[in-house]
Amino acid sequence: MGFNTMNLNDITSDQIIRNHTEFERRLAYYKDLGLDQIALRKEFIDLIHFKPARILEVGTGKGILTIFLTKICDSIISVDMDTQEQRIAMLNLMYHQCEQAVTLLCADAGQLGFADKYFDLTVSAISFHHFEEPKKVIDEMARMTARQLIISDFNETGFEIIEKAHRQENRQHFKTGHRFSQISQWLEQKGFSVTASFYECQTVYCAKRNGIEQ
């Protein structure tokens, strides 16, 4: 499938501690502005009401959701195209001593190639606005999902805060501009029943495959 897996041999405990300190600083910075990244992931995890045997995560990022996923499953494949982000995620996982449950793969989620319905749960948190070809990614996630697919992204309030946070640092927040609400229709056409949950800073779609006892 053309994946890269991460080499952990050069990671030191000093790097893990320094990364954690910086990570906590970033989380506090966002929280002061009104965006509690941890609370967003808790809202997401609370929508999972079964014990998945195998999870696929799309968009590892810095691994905030990944850490939560390790509490409910010990076989997680997490995919991202950005090796730098995945390195930070690995340092975060190692800080929490939960890296054994996770395989990080550097790949485009639009063409993964695992077998149909290989994962009983596929998830993606706050990544949709990064996808250049979102339909391709969603179609691929749906194909590999045996039971449930859960996906979140910022709502208007979430985007306003993240954009403010970036402006204050003279940076621009990247967003492709695709409409997140289209997800519902895409997944219904693929044979899922979709429920939307609306929170202060995010929307989460939970899609259950029709004809499967949930």
Amino acid identity of residue 182, one-letter, is Q
Contact region with ligand SAM (CB under 6 A), list: 76-84, 157-165, 185-193, 194-202: 76-84
- Encoded one letter per residue, x for contact with ligand SAM by CB under 6 A and - for no contact, window 94-113 reads --------------xxx---
Which lies closer to ligand SAM via its Cβ, residue 186 or residue 212?
186
**Of 34, 39, 72, 82, which one interacts with ligand SAM (CB under 6 A)?**
82
Does 85 contact ligand SAM by CB under 6 A? Answer: yes
Q: Which residues of 129-156 are buried (b: 16+ CB within 10 A; e: fewer)?
A: bbbeebeebbbbbbbbbbbbbbbbbbee
- Take residue 174 and report the two structure tokens written for it: 């990247």
Least distance between ligand SAM and beta carbon 213 (Å): 29
Does 137 contact ligand SAM by CB under 6 A? Answer: yes
Does 139 contact ligand SAM by CB under 6 A? Answer: no
Instruction: Show Cβ contacts of residue 66 under 8 Å, excluding neighbours closer than 6 positions.
Output: 57, 60, 76, 78, 89, 92, 93, 102
Does 163 contact ligand SAM by CB under 6 A? Answer: no
Does 81 contact ligand SAM by CB under 6 A? Answer: yes
Which lies closer to ligand SAM via its Cβ, residue 84 or residue 214?
84
Q: In the chain, what is the greatest distance between 2 CA atoms, to the nearest angstrom?
A: 50
Contact region with ligand SAM (CB under 6 A), list: 47-55, 81-89, 93-101, 195-203: 81-89
Which lies closer to ligand SAM via its Cβ, residue 61 or residue 120?
61
Cross-strand bridge partners of residue 119: 145
Instruction: Please state, in angstroms and rounded to a whole number, the distance separating the CA atoms of residues 151 and 48.
Output: 12
Instruction: Please state, in angstroms and rounded to a whole number, the distance separating the CA atoms of residues 122 and 177.
Output: 23
Does 121 contact ligand SAM by CB under 6 A? Answer: no
Cross-strand bridge partners of residue 102: 76
Amino acid identity of residue 164, one-letter, is K
Coil, strand or helix at 176: coil
**Of 35, 52, 73, 80, which one interacts with ligand SAM (CB under 6 A)?**
80
Instruction: Please state, in angstroms and rounded to a whole number, the distance separating the CA atoms of residues 38 and 88.
Output: 16
Residues numbered 41-70 forming contacts with ligand SAM, rule: CB under 6 A: 41, 58-59, 61-65
Binding site for ligand SAM (CB under 6 A): 41, 58-59, 61-65, 79-82, 85, 108-110, 125-127, 130-131, 137
